[in-house]
A and B are shown apart, each in its own frame.
Chain A
Amino acid sequence: MLNKILMVGALGTLVTAVAAPTVRAADDNLLQTIKNRGMMRVCDVDYAPWNVKNPGTNQWEGVNVDIVDLIAGMLKVKLEHVDATWATVIPSITTQKCDFAAAGLYISPPRAELVTFTRPFATDGIALFVSATSPAKTVEDLDKPGKTIVVRSGGFEEGVAKALFKQATVKTLTADQAGIITLEIASGRADAGAGGYYGNLVFLKANPNVKVKPLSDELLSKTSIAYAVPPREYFFRDWLNAVILNLEENGKLKEILVKWSK
């Protein structure tokens, strides 16, 4: 008798698990939910100077972290940081691992299909980086068979590099830290890398022993940085837009950007 009950119970759990809703229906009430919860979860992706995880303290710091601290102060809620990579930040939003992503995220159509973006508040670009001793001067020098171009998985630069380099091999790295493409170049495993111009320059400035330089000051592609909220959370997105506009107008945004660009 007991065995039959156990069997039925097991089957029942299975069926319920299968039938459970996959993504919670967006009710456009995220702002209220955060206030009620008293806690806000934010996704960060390691990309200087927007979000950098200081390995010494294990805390996130950077432009976006400062902004998000201000936001948490406005809502009077606690803040919780969720680690992510370019490849995992969108699924983290859609599976509610975090409420929104405050990372140096570029607006791109494939991402916009799955999340809702705020208005952009900064620009960046994709640039090519090469070893400090590399003789290459143009993209043609690098687009030769046998050459390796390294990019971060899930980043905007992955598509850009694949479209640009027809003969060279584009290698994708799944690690989650900002400067890894420069490390691959410095160790001789890649001939060049494509990544965010601004962020990688900041990393190189902080690590002068990594002998890597940008190929040129020319950007492969301009990009805009915005925050990403779960799909159809329009009210929260509009609220964030208001916050960003406010920060721009009262000069706070500029102050934070200057602070972290040193």
Chain B
Amino acid sequence: MVSGTELARAEQPRSTLSFVVYWILPTALGVALIAWLIVGVNWSFVRGLDFSVVYQYRIALLQGLLNTVLITFFSLLLGLALGFAFACLAYVPFAPLRWLIAAYIEVLRDTPLVVALFWIHFALPVATGITTTAFESGFIAMALQSSAYLADAVRAGIQAIPKGQWDAADALGLSRMWKWFDVILPQAFKIIIPPLANIALGYFKASSVLALLSVGELTTVATRISNYTFKPIEMFTTIGVVYLCLGYFLSFLTFRLEKLFRIAQT
């Protein structure tokens, strides 16, 4: 199958219309964009930006970054454990339980994270008497939501294992539990690493949402400092860059991890 880029290149200007569409229009748009930027931006303000405030509050920002990493990592860990549990439970021959799990996953997927966060923090204590700190509420909310997506990823991974593996395990006479733990799950794990990495990346982004409850991760700290010093541009641009770097670093890690597993397999 041919890629769209080759498609585009194959469409050499055969008529005046194509010429306009492929060359004049994009160039004009590009020039217009740059012109708009030059005219629209308040350059005197940009010159007056004072990034020393980032250095001044570097400790707090680093703590915020640490909190982001910690809360995402551990809530994903719990989410993965829960996701595995749900994925395995989806195979039990008891229909109402399967239906309950499916309903539970659907509810978690179709609710915004921020709503779940606030519900756990403010409504759960009223309903059950269990009260949580902001950090705990954030942790639980992210773990529960990610478990829904991870359950799907794990289930897809399990289904992707060749049928031959199941038969071989049966032929070897392995009991049900050992079949799961020794044969199926390790292979499923290797298959689900790409979607797992995608979900992990998504949740590092999503951890920013916890700022609405002042959980203390990076965005909370940045908003706090920005309101305290009235320097929003310096703060938010900085954490934007930090999130980008974090994202690239994670993508890089995943790439290496995938390569590692591929080598181990061969």
Contact = CB atoms under 8 A, between A and B. Distances in A.
Interface of A: 3-4, 6-7, 10, 17-18, 20-24, 53, 55-58, 82-83, 88, 91, 95-97, 175-177, 179-180, 183, 186, 207, 209-210
Contacts of B228: 55, 177, 179
Given A3-B92, A21-B129, 8 more contacts: A6-B97, A7-B94, A7-B96, A56-B225, A91-B122, A95-B122, A177-B224, A177-B228
A176 B128 CA distance: 26
Contact of A55 (B94, B128, B224): B224
A255 to B, nearest CB: 26
B233 to A, nearest CB: 12
Given A3-B92, A17-B128, A22-B129, A180 B134 contact: no
Contact of B94 (A3, A20, A95, A177): A3
Interface residues of B, number: 30
A229 B57 CA distance: 34
Nearest to B126: A22
B230 interface: yes
Interface of B: 56-57, 59-60, 63, 92-94, 96-97, 100, 122, 125-129, 131, 133-134, 214, 216, 221, 223-225, 227-230
A25 to B, nearest CB: 11
Contacts of B131: 95-97
Contacts of A88: 122
A2 B104 CA distance: 20
Nearest to B235: A55
B125 A95 contact: yes
B224 A97 contact: no
Contacts of A83: 134, 214
Contacts of A7: 94, 96-97
B56 A56 contact: yes
Nearest to B129: A20
Contacts of A57: 59-60
A210 B94 CA distance: 64
B225 A55 contact: yes
Contacts of B223: 175, 177
B227 A179 contact: yes
A3 B93 contact: yes
A58 B64 CA distance: 10
